[in-house]
Amino acid sequence: MTPGPDLRGPRRRLIEALAAQGVRDLAVLEAFDAVPRHLFVPTGVRHRAYEDAPLPIGSGQTISQPYVHALYLQLLQLRGTERVLEIGTGSGFQTALLARLAAQVFTVERVRALHESSRRLLDELGVRNVSYLCGDGTIGWREYGPYDAILVGAGAPAMPMPLIDQLAPNGRLLVPVGDREKQALWMVTRTPAGIRQEAVADMRFVPLVGSHGWLETGTG
């Protein structure tokens, strides 16, 4: 994965901005340096690919602000041996970051157009440690669980219990929970003493649609 040389400057400036905001995990910063974000956004907004801002990717969805991706990855403290479940493949950018930081990634996307385009791009980029599913991410992917880490890239109205059930011992779940306008990002950890929940940041995501989320994009 090598961005064109004309984008090296903007990419490095983004990495410097992430570091200035408190992203200290060198593996995370190196992943941002290696994965060409501009390939994961539509050509019409490609000139903005290395801004620290969310961008539209079609089907009413967005690619998250880079700082949000970096925060997620830093909070999980991945060491390269983990099995990770990603809810919301979207553009595939976070999937590509995860593929560099974990042993195996399982990613679920409900929008078929995004599922197909992200899979095609990641295949072209040579990413081989990712398994893909088009379906309801709120129920997880029980067949390949339990998972050491689960990331949810959309806002849920309540904790999706099937995802908590699929956490491995000491596994961590990151999920935004709240209303349609704003959410709190929760870290849920399966400890020997039980489930621990901690709110770590305020977030604003598109709705998490599914049987354990919002029923559809316009209704609860």
Q: Is the pLDDT of residue 218 over 70?
A: no
* Structure tokens, 83: 């099995």
Residue of 64, 91, 117, 118 with catalytic role: 64
The tens digit of pLDDT for each residue in 10-55 reads 999 999 999 999 999 999 999 999 999 999 999 999 999 999 999 9
**pLDDT reported for residue 217:** 52
* Structure tokens, 220: 């609860």
The tens digit of pLDDT for each residue in 164-192 reads 999 999 999 999 999 988 999 999 999 99
Run of H or E including 122 = helix 112-124
* Structure tokens, 50: 């290395």
Q: How far is CA 82 from the centre of its chain?
A: 15
59 is catalytic: no
Q: Is the pLDDT of residue 220 over 70?
A: no
pTM of the shown model: 0.93
Instruction: Tell me the DSSP string of 123-182.
Output: HHTT--SEEEEES-GGG--GGG--EEEEEE-SBBSS--HHHHHTEEEEEEEEEEEE-SS-
Sorted by where each starts, the structural domains of the chain and their CATH numbers stand as: 54-203 (3.40.50.150)
The tens digit of pLDDT for each residue in 125-157 reads 999 999 999 999 999 999 999 999 999 999 999
